[in-house]
Structure 1
């Protein structure tokens, strides 16, 4: 087995399960460290130990892979983790993902690794949506940094894959957006999400969300309730607001309601998906990936959307790129 591929797959499985970022980063670092090394170095334990980024665990994986076996740790992770929900027939219809993060904000990996993972999954497009400046804990991008990032985005496209410029912009307390209008106007995809004061009084939160989705620059309303239902961060109750008013506004302005695929979010809850359906909303099934292995979390979102009976034609991430761009440029 190719040792670089073995190390990368281990990192992806750890990322998918939201394991310690240090563990996954260590295996990704080891894969990068040995890429391009000749076989003689890889098969010489004394020389391999001196390669920066190769530790005892990654060294064991390399040696087992070179011996022609599936490394034991990889086999264990495959058995433990790599049995995702299929997502049903809807998963096969998804062409891309409109919510992902890189190490420009709080993601774990570089843009090129995110793009490589998206292409391996068969994506036709991926929106790069790092955080906005107020979210300092996530190293949110200032207008200047976002412009710098956008200038690099075309370099990652190919004939079969397109990286879209974007942002996950914070919804401020009054419903305004945490980025300059001129910068937002230049982006291809704008996901708007609330990250603070999630326990705001119901009427105020309703006004806040309605104001945000009424802004013509917004394309997707991200993880609408902000809830957490499992995982290492613990649980968090959903925000309270009038879902009919919010989803009426989404439908009126062509804003897609995000089906956030992260298992710890499961956002929106099932009852809210039903309301958004009734109100005529569009939807976007997104991974909210912060590492390459998390892009495959779309399986979970697709399974939820299919169970909820969302028609594929109302899911913007089933659309081809020209139609998606026409909608996002509305």
Structure 2
């Protein structure tokens, strides 16, 4: 490769990185999904171009003729290719900068090694696995579990058994090129009305991580809901109890489910099921009073983002703040553990 070609290729890579960074910041700040997806689609389009052709398009003002590239994304690319600062990116860096954690929460954040609950475009996430993995690596994670939805959640394009098997092959191939980072196989499996898990048991046995969550009939009476959750927690294939109350506290709000928290969390402690501390700003589940009960019950915990886009993987700080507020020992948080320890405690 000639020096000129190498320089053109490097400028192209910088343009793609700028587009992805803008999308990341928008996602982290809960901006419109339409805005972040526009920048991600533009990044994919720009990355596919021949570097020299891209330079010609920039010189002639024709970048917006590329697929998925509009006026704003073209302006970002043009500035990067000319070696000039991107004002829009700078504004976003200032406006949407990561919030500063207090010292106790920051200490917990430094201890975290990965995230065990994340979604891709295979279900209701917005990007391919590769985009999620790249963001996790850039954040300094050591591992990321891909936990797309199970088949009954059709509104979220839950994965049938054949689709999940295909994803396992995809993860295996990805792991050959991203080491020492590790992509973990997983699922967010629906807890059915009777407490069963919504996926082929033999297939669940092949996964690194099983997050079990209630997504339907959230207003079930307290008694039946308690029994439903107890059945799921006692299932030897369950590793993590996801967003236990199902509440939504922002946007289209939803009250929390009613269940006997002491019985459920005692069962989690007894059966080695970690209680998820869900970091989504619209969930922050469990609520503080239930988190106190789970801590008293002796539960393990998993701080997870439940991310549906790469920028959302940077929401871990919210869970760290809750851990610090409750003076929870980080040793009880499995996402502070080395990968080998996380895999060793899995029930399979």
State the TM-score, normalizing by the size of structure 2.
0.91
**What is the aligned partner in structure 1 of residue 85 from structure 2?**
70
Give, in whole Å, the separation in 2 of the partners of 1:257 and 1:178: 19
1:266, CA displacement in angstroms? Answer: 0.7
**What is the aligned partner in structure 2 of residue 14 from structure 1?**
26
| 1:220–1:284 contact (8 Å) kept in structure 2 | yes
Structure 1 segments (4+ residues) deviating >4 Å:
none
| 2:336 equivalent among 305, 311, 318 | 318
**What is the aligned partner in structure 1 of residue 6 from structure 2?**
none
| 1:7–1:58 contact (8 Å) kept in structure 2 | yes
What secondary structure does 1:190 align onto?
Answer: strand
Query: Does 2:296 correspond to 1:278?
Result: yes
Give, in whole Å, the separation in 2 of the partners of 1:186 and 1:49: 45
| 1:249 equivalent among 254, 264, 267 | 267
Give, in whole Å, the separation in 2 of the partners of 1:18 and 1:49: 26
Q: Computing the radius of gyration over CA atoms, which structure comes out larger, 1 or 2?
A: 2
Give, in whole Å, the separation in 2 of the partners of 1:155 and 1:303: 36
Superposed CA deviations along residues 12-33 of structure 1, whole A, max 9, x for unmatched, are: 0111123222211110111111
Query: Does 2:244 correspond to 1:224?
Result: yes
1:67, CA displacement in angstroms? Answer: 4.2
| 2:118–2:307 contact (8 Å) kept in structure 1 | yes
Superposed CA deviations along residues 117-138 of structure 1, whole A, max 9, x for unmatched, are: 1111111111110000000010
| 2:114 equivalent among 67, 76, 96 | 96
| 2:236–2:347 contact (8 Å) kept in structure 1 | no
**Structure 2 matches for 1:114-153, cutoff 5 A?**
114-153=132-171
Could you say if the C-alpha distance between residues 179 and 85 of structure 1 is closer, same or farther in structure 2, counting changes exceeding 3 Å?
farther
1:180, CA displacement in angstroms? Answer: 1.1
1:322, CA displacement in angstroms? Answer: 0.9
Give, in whole Å, the separation in 1 of the partners of 2:347 and 2:139: 26
| 1:42–1:62 contact (8 Å) kept in structure 2 | no
| 1:27 equivalent among 39, 46, 64 | 39
What secondary structure does 2:120 align onto?
Answer: coil
Query: Does 2:123 correspond to 1:105?
Result: yes
Aligned length: 328
Give, in whole Å, the separation in 2 of the partners of 1:44 and 1:131: 45
1:51, CA displacement in angstroms? Answer: 1.1
Query: Does 2:281 correspond to 1:263?
Result: yes
1:218, CA displacement in angstroms? Answer: 0.2
| 1:12–1:293 contact (8 Å) kept in structure 2 | yes
Give, in whole Å, the separation in 2 of the partners of 1:302 and 1:49: 42
| 1:127–1:163 contact (8 Å) kept in structure 2 | yes
**What is the aligned partner in structure 2 of residue 193 from structure 1?**
213
**What is the aligned partner in structure 2 of residue 205 from structure 1?**
225
List alignment gaps of at least 5 residues for structure 1. none
Superposed CA deviations along residues 20-63 of structure 1, whole A, max 9, x for unmatched, are: 22211110111111125335235324331221111011112223
1:309, CA displacement in angstroms? Answer: 1.3
| 2:55–2:81 contact (8 Å) kept in structure 1 | no
| 1:85–1:300 contact (8 Å) kept in structure 2 | no
Tell me how large the CA RMSD over aligned residues is: 1.5
